[in-house]
Amino acid sequence: RPFQPGEEEAIVELLELAFDGWPKFDLCCSPLEHWRWKYKANPLITSQIAVGVSNHIIIGCSHSLLSRIRTGNRVFPCSQGGDAAVHPDFRRMTIFRKLINLKIKMGKESRVQVHYCATNPILRKSLSKFYCWFPHIVMNLFRVHDIDLHLRKQPVKYAFIYKSGFHLIKLANQWRNTLRLYRPSSCDFHIGKITQFDERIESFWEEIKDHYNFIMERSREYLNWRYCDHRSGDYLVKIAQTDAKILGYMVLRINKHQIDYPIGYIVDLLTLPNRLDVTNALVEDAVNYFDDHHINIIICLIVKNHPYKAIFERNGFITKRERIPLFYRGYTEVEELRQLESSSPSSIHVAYGDLD
């Protein structure tokens, strides 16, 4: 059934149990306050939450965040898959499937036209029964200083093969970088930290929106909720600007959940389409920031063959070959979704900040 007010604490307790701690990154507030920010303070529409109940106890939950997606020349109400969990004692009883069916029903009733979600490998097979793979491949890029330190802190099977592959890919990237034409920055802008997005971000959005066939709407209200509320996490937001004009922005985060091995994330990065020099300057700034904080690994998200990929590779990033399990579904007939497959990767924007 749908969530009812007063069940917040029970849901957070379930999430903490199911994931052995939630949300798996360091917070400036309690997990309950983070949940309230995420699912009740959304400036767009009230989030959709389905729960499973047994003897008045919450034993399952599935969340969706409401947003707006621009695809083609139109903006659609969209739901984004959020946290989902089933109590360990009630797994393999089709509860997750029933939660998904209810969420689909709720989405249709609220006139949501598109749903998308990223999931872990465990749920990939289950979700593929309800949703389609996103038509463009989305991958992780990562930059590692010390591969031996990384393998000690995050052990993997066949570490020797992993390490050998890492060095081979790194050498291949270095060789490709020598063949790429490098255009230095025009130096007509500067990069600075902000704590709030101001009205200039609306002009930035108006200038870039027609370039994209798939992008989450970047309104001032949404960006301030997503990255500038302390309950969301400890983000660093920087903009590149010339005079009073924003040329691009990026959002960084150091996840200190694993205290002895913090991880750096480029959570979001977006610049004017004709200013790849600004993109490069922001990536260089991000690398310097993480290096100054002695972060061994930096991770970001990229659409395969997107123009940003070459810039990341020039700055020492390599591709993790595994595809991010990103799914979508149209609740109504959306002609623009059928055109996504033939869209250029440069017109598709997906970032960590757009996913749960």
Q: List the alpha helices (DSSP H) in the chain.
A: 8-18, 31-40, 95-109, 121-127, 147-153, 159-179, 200-208, 220-227, 276-292, 307-314, 335-338
**Per-residue pLDDT, 182:** 64
Residues of the chain with pLDDT under 50: none
**Per-residue pLDDT, 164:** 83
Q: Taking a C-beta distance cutoff of 8 angstroms, is the pair 83, 24 a contact?
A: no
Q: List the alpha helices (DSSP H) in 180-231.
A: 200-208, 220-227
**Per-residue pLDDT, 341:** 81
**Per-residue pLDDT, 185:** 62
Nearest alpha-carbon partner for 27 in 36, 18, 105: 36
CA dihedral sign, ordered 181, 205, 70, 103: positive
Q: Taking a C-beta distance cutoff of 8 angstroms, is the pair 35, 80 a contact?
A: no
**Per-residue pLDDT, 51:** 96
CA atoms within 13 A on the CB side of 177: 16
